[in-house]
Chains A and B, each alone.
Chain A
Amino acid sequence: MNEQRSTERLFFDEHQWATVEAAMSRIIPTDHQPGAREANTTGFLDRYLSGIEYVYAKPDGSGFEKLSGKRAEAWRQRIEGLRKVYTEGIAEMDRRSRELFGDDFRALTEGQQDEVLGAMESRSGMDEGEQEEHQVAAGYGAPEEEAEPAMQQTLNESDLLFFPLLVLHTRQGFYGDPVYGGNRDRVGWEVLGFPGPESMAEVHSGRYSTLPYFAESTDHGEEAADGR
């Protein structure tokens, strides 16, 4: 397994790491089950922002692909844009925290942090024109009216503002494959009740099957269960 175990920082400085971790822990809190903190979503994001070494896991989970040519150029450009959004977004979150509560975001109580995040979400500092320019991650329909229409198959991260981007990356780090450093010990899947494959290698080799979770009536199709 290639899961990231250390908390070695690759992109964020100590303060940025602690701020992002505090925010992600409010986006998917820890309750009777693990949350973003236990899943290591901050480490997941830090590694993503570190360059183009961790963009694509190898399909059998045995490391990461080396990017080259136009693809590598595109990813360098994309990651650079994302780094800027984070660097500025974290500073903005601290600025609002000091304005509202007189301290950095990481030092606030959970209730205060939620208020700051709520303010970041509503983007009250932007005029309507600016808001139109940007989209928020929506999926099946976030309550916001300006949300991207429901059910896009693709979601262009480069279009997102800091807060929806942070939410999206928290979800990616919580529910994505553990090979990327988040979803540590598959805690995200445990919360969902998704049994999932044991590893990417299980999917890659064709050993992984969801047939046990199909309907019980079995007229046919049984061959596929062990059909290798």
Chain B
Amino acid sequence: MAGKKKPERADVCIIGAGASGATAAKVLTESGLRVVALEKGPWRKPESFGGDELANANRYNLWPDPILNPRTFRHSPQEDPKVELFCPVPQMVGGGTVHWTGWVPRMTVNEFKQETIYGEVDGASLKDWPITYEDLEPYYDKVEWSFGVSGQAGANKYEGPRSRDYPVPAMRPTRYAQKFHEGCAALGYNSFPTPMAMLSRPHNGRRATVQSAFVQQHGDPTGTKSTALTTFVPDAVATGRFDLRSDCYVHEITVDERGRAKSAVYQDADGDFVEQEADVFMLACGAMESARLLLLSRSVRFPNGLANGNDLVGRYLTLHEYSAAVGVFEEEMYGWAGGGYVSGSTFEFLEGSQDNGFVGGSHVAAAGVGVPLPINFTMPDQPAWGQGMKDADRELFNHSMAVGVCLHDLPQYENRLELDESVKDAWGLPVARVTHKAHTNDIQQGRWIIDKNVEILDAAGAKKSWPVYIDRITGNASHQHSTIRMGTDPRSPSSTSGARPTRWRTSTPSTAARFRPRPGSTPP
């Protein structure tokens, strides 16, 4: 700790300055508390981002570098885990909101009570949330207005009651969104402009979002997209009570003699170890890293990590798997316009039924194909090289679109995140090991929905369409949930009443880790 003073104790210490951490920082600092946030990655300014697909999609400019931050994955405990970049999210101030396009539909009323609706499902553990849509509605409203979300109230017939409209109108439709709406209309499906974290008009002193082609997987150099970096972080900083320390990697949460969270021990940019004390600690590092930090925080008193007396931390890990039906049209779709995800959506397939052979369902929305440029993507069933590949790129790329699904898998006890003691990250800490196997319910759901998506494309007049089925869950959407589930029963889930983890009172995960099963609608 070469000459570094121990920092002053804070009211609240938030670990992770992404979507959850920045939101908490804004609320807490505006209510008068002194907040320290410890962020593992850098605090990048909008000017540091560019329209550079090679850097962003291929060279880990935003994604964690797997040489420095590996994870391991296996389908079952019998398999040897493989090192891979499983379900990556940018590790920097702003977190996942840096790389996203920002689809932000609300969860429906029913998504909060799936155990009530679907009952027991073999091999899965559906639970109702301990809160309801009505509880959350005022907060949805607050976030939509302060963060800046575009949308059209009432357009989604499955949405719960709203206290008011969106702050700005829906985005102007892209050609692929328009085509999607036409297909849905022809089949009698309700569809709506995807609510997006973008401004169709100036709002809150911010200008309208610039519609570049370099959006998804790209940081926004103009700072006009709604992200934690452009909204809640500056709001918290403006209070004068927010101390955001970037490049500070928390290795563990220590506990005092009574077993209460005492401090966060982190390594700063110089490699020095620093101890930050606070009255309250909040974990906001996403579902995977929040669970990993609890597991890394081992002590004599809690040898299996914090809040893990019941061996439930890291269990019931669920993901979103993105796949699509792909269609080609006579006219140009310009799938790269708006970056490929200024979309139209439908919730018609959000609630499955036993009649279909599965429960649950997912959000379906339009998108471009291989956007903004087909560097890493070729069209289905096309040659992988040679004249045939070039012809396919030339003839299909501008004329294609996808109707995609964010398939939310069922929570299962054996699908979990643990520490992998045999693989260390560049700081010497054991990495996250994921064990995950899709439930047959999920594979059936995927097939059924992708077939429906083909029908939408065909009804919209596609010349040709292809289903791209999901045969396993790979975490490709970078959406992760449910490793530290909320609950009211102190014996079963890893959390207790007041939504706090068992036997560990002063730490509150505030991240997608807390999600109960299956928000099929909302990419967190």
A residues sitting closer than 8 Å to B (CB atoms) are: 26-29, 31, 33, 35, 55-61, 70-71, 73-74, 77-78, 114, 117, 121, 136-144, 149-159, 164, 167-168, 170-172, 175-177, 179-180, 189, 191-194, 196-197, 200, 203-206, 208-211, 213-215, 217-224, 227-228
Contact residues in A for B214 (Cβ distance below 8 Å): 203
What B residues does A153 contact at CB under 8 A?
A: 57, 63, 88, 217, 476-478
Assess whether B338 is interfacial by the CB under 8 Å rule: yes
Contacts of B385 in A (CB 8 A): 26-28, 117, 121, 167, 170
- A148 (CB) vs chain B CBs: closest residue: B474
What is the CB-to-nearest-CB distance from B245 to chain A, in angstroms, rounded to a whole number? 17
Of A29, A117, A204, A210, the contact of B334 (CB 8 Å cutoff): A210
Q: How many angstroms between the C-alpha atoms of A228 and B200 in the bound complex?
A: 13
Which residue of B52, B84, B378, B381 has the most chain A CB atoms within 10 A of its CB atom? Answer: B52
Contact B54 A143 (CB under 8 A): no
Count residues on chain B whose CB falls below 8 Å from chain A CBs. 89
Query: Given the complex, which residues of B lie within 8 Å of A121, measured CB to CB?
Result: 384-385
In the complex, are the beta carbons of B210 and A224 less than 8 A apart? yes
Contact between A210 and B213, CB atoms less than 8 A apart: yes
B374 at the interface (CB under 8 A from A): yes
Q: Is the interface of B mostly helix, strand, loop or mixed?
A: loop
Given A176-B375, A210-B338, are A215 and B172 also a contact pair (CB < 8 Å)? Answer: yes
Known: A193-B397, A194-B336, A220-B201. A139 touches B378 (CB 8 A): yes
Contact between B373 and A194, CB atoms less than 8 A apart? yes
The reply to whether B389 and A28 contact each other, CB–CB distance below 8 Å, is yes
Q: Which residues of chain A have C-beta atoms less than 8 A from B471's C-beta?
A: 149
Within 8 Å of chain A (Cβ to Cβ): is B153?
Answer: no
**Nearest Cβ on chain A to B425's Cβ, whole angstroms:** 10
Among A138, A152, A213, the one with the most B-chain Cβ atoms within 10 Å of its Cβ is: A213
**Contact present for B221 and A206 (CB under 8 Å):** yes
Query: Chain A residues near B53 (CB, 8 Å)?
Result: 175-177
Contact among A74, A137, A152, A192 for B398, CB-based, below 8 A: A192
Contacting pair A139 B221 (CB below 8 A): no
Closest 6 CB pairs of A and B: A59-B50, A203-B51, A221-B172, A139-B377, A224-B208, A227-B208
Q: Is B495's CB within 8 Å of the partner chain A? A: no
Chain B residues with Cβ under 8 A from A209's Cβ? 210-212
Residues of A within 8 A of B202 (CB): 223, 227
Given A28-B390, A152-B474, A210-B212, is A217 in contact with B378 using a C-beta cutoff of 8 Å?
A: no
Which residues from chain A contact B200 at a C-beta distance below 8 Å? Answer: 220-221, 223-224
Decide: B468 and A141 in contact? CB cutoff 8 A: yes
Closest-by-CB residue of B relative to A57 is B52
Q: With A and B bound together, what is the CA distance between A206 and B85 in angstroms?
A: 32
Inter-chain contact A210/B337, CB cutoff 8 Å: yes
Residues of B contacting A180 in the complex (Cβ-Cβ under 8 angstroms)? 54
Other contacts beyond A208-B213, A227-B224: 4, CB < 8 A: A149-B476, A154-B63, A170-B385, A217-B178
CA distance A53 to B54 in the complex (A): 15
Q: What residues of chain A lie closer than 8 Å to B186, measured between beta carbons? A: none
Interface residue? B452 (CB, 8 A): no
Q: Give min CB distance, A203 to chain B, whole Å.
A: 3
From B253-261, B283-291, B320-328, the one touching the partner chain is B320-328
- Interface residues as binary, B504-521 with A (CB distance below 8 Å gives 1, 0 otherwise): 000000000000000000
Q: How far is the CB of B264 from chain A (nearest CB, A)?
A: 21
Closest-by-CB residue of A relative to B223 is: A206
B393 interface hit (Cβ, 8 Å): yes
User: A204–B50 contact, CB under 8 A?
Assistant: yes
Contact residue among A55, A155, A191 (Cβ-Cβ distance under 8 Å from B376): A155
Contacts A214-B174, A224-B211 given: A59-B377 contact, CB under 8 Å?
A: no
